[in-house]
Structure 1
Amino acid sequence: MLRVALTGPESTGKTTLSQKLAEHYHTAWVPEYAREYLETRQLGLGYTLTDLEEIARGQLAAEDAAVAAAERCRRPVVFCDTELLVIKVWAEHAFGHCPDWILEEIEHRSYDLILLLGIDLPWEPDPLREHPHLRQYFYDLYRSELTERLSNFAEIGGTFERRVDQSCFLIDELLRSHGYVPAAQAPTDDL
């Protein structure tokens, strides 16, 4: 099972793009669990480090469930709206450190491709978004982290349509390199 994660600062289109890619490739999609968690508990931006740990656990469980669903339907790829690197960056920014178990999980959980989304889309206000003025700062942090970890990542930018095209090109190449058929030739039965 190939795993493709999307990462990057707030308001860069991760959710919209990951949904579109899952639709295009007829496979499972892992939404960002943080949004569900914060909205359900009506926490807004008043989260704690303990909340971030619960969000990390929920994200991992959702990812595992999506992988299982994709495997049952014999899909070769699953898309993750986010991954634990986001939790690490937010924990360190907001609380000065990240829990060790999250750092260990980041080391053990790998992605075949990570799409780092650029900040060249306009900021869209949202009650759960915090730092419109720090998007470049966070982008540089994510890029540095991915580079240091020797992650297979690509920087994606431009209009939404261009982001879709860039992503599909890279994912088709990833699928081919692992002996899978690209989306245009893949089966289309529902998950």
Structure 2
Amino acid sequence: MTDVIKIAVVGPESTGKSAMSAYLAKHYQTVWVPEFARGYCENLTGDCTWQDEVNMFHGQLELEKEYLPKANKLLICDTTFITIKIWSDEMFGQAPQEVLDMLPEHTYDFYLLLNIDLAWEDDPLRNFPTMREHFMQVWHKELKALNANYVVVSGQGQARYDAAVEAVDVFLGK
């Protein structure tokens, strides 16, 4: 199904990626791919390992494949496996080679990089409340390295959702 446009909703922790993905899917009457890592990490009994990162990479790709045929012209993705690269670089000093190899091959048509202008919400799976600016810069760097078509989405409440819809509409030429 190559005629489906893939829109990735990305950004540092606690920027509203899941809520934004759900909102966009409803707005555009399509489906959204949840973040595989969230469910995976909720079931971990210890610290995340290198193999866990590889497993999450494969899990995210599989989820996207599963949801793709259900998409109505747009597939909204709540994060991407670029997150695996970013976390692996931070936690282990490097990312799995298979993740690095797939980055240029498995791209998205458009990325919404959610800004860190929302208040931090504590969550057992969030680890870096004081490093949001750092990770925002990392996201810019990673998206630029992929020559990705992206826009930063800012704002509070409905204004944030409206800004995302406007960005997508501009991308789609509406």
State TM-score, norm by structure 2.
Answer: 0.94
1:81 Cα shift? 0.4
Largest Rg, 1 or 2: 1
Given candidates 163, 166, 169, the residue that maps to 1:166 is 163
Do structure 1's residue 152 and structure 2's residue 149 form an aligned pair? yes
* TM alignment of 1:101-120, pairs within 5 A: 101-120=98-117
1:43 to 35, 42, 45: 45
Match of 1:10 among 13, 29, 32: 13
Counterpart selection for 2:88 from 86, 91, 98:
91
Bigger mean CA offset, 20-29 vs 160-169? 160-169
Residue 100 of structure 1 is matched in structure 2 by 97
What's 2:30 paired with? Answer: 27
Instruction: Mark the runs of 5 or more structure 2 residues left unpaired by the alignment.
Output: none
- One-letter amino acid of the structure 2 residue matched with residue 16 of structure 1: A
Using the TM superposition, give the Cα deviation of residue 149 of structure 1 relative to its aligned residue in structure 2, in angstroms: 1.9
Secondary structure class of the residue paired with 2:12? coil
List per-residue Cα deviations over 1:4-54 (Å, max 9, x = no partner): 001111000001001110011110110000111111x2436x111110110
Misfit runs of 4+, over 4 Å: none
Offset at residue 174 of structure 1 (A): 2.6
- 1:108 partner SS: coil
What are the ranges of 5 or more consecutive residues in structure 1 without an aligned counterpart?
177-181, 183-191
Report the TM-score, using the length of structure 1 for normalisation. Answer: 0.86
- Report what 2:118 is aligned to: 121
1:138 and 2:135 are equivalent in the alignment: yes
Give the C-alpha shift of residue 171 in structure 1: 1.4
SS of the aligned residue for 2:22 comes to: helix
1:161 Cα offset (Å): 1.4
1:123 alignment partner, SS class: coil
Q: Number of aligned pairs?
A: 171
2: distance between equivalents of 1:19 and 1:103?
28
RMSD: 1.2
Report percent identity of matched pairs.
38
CA distance in 2, matches of 1:133, 1:121: 13
Kindly provide the CA deviation profile for residues 120-171 of structure 1, in whole angstroms up to 9, marking residues without a partner as x.
1000000000000000000001111112221000001111312211111121
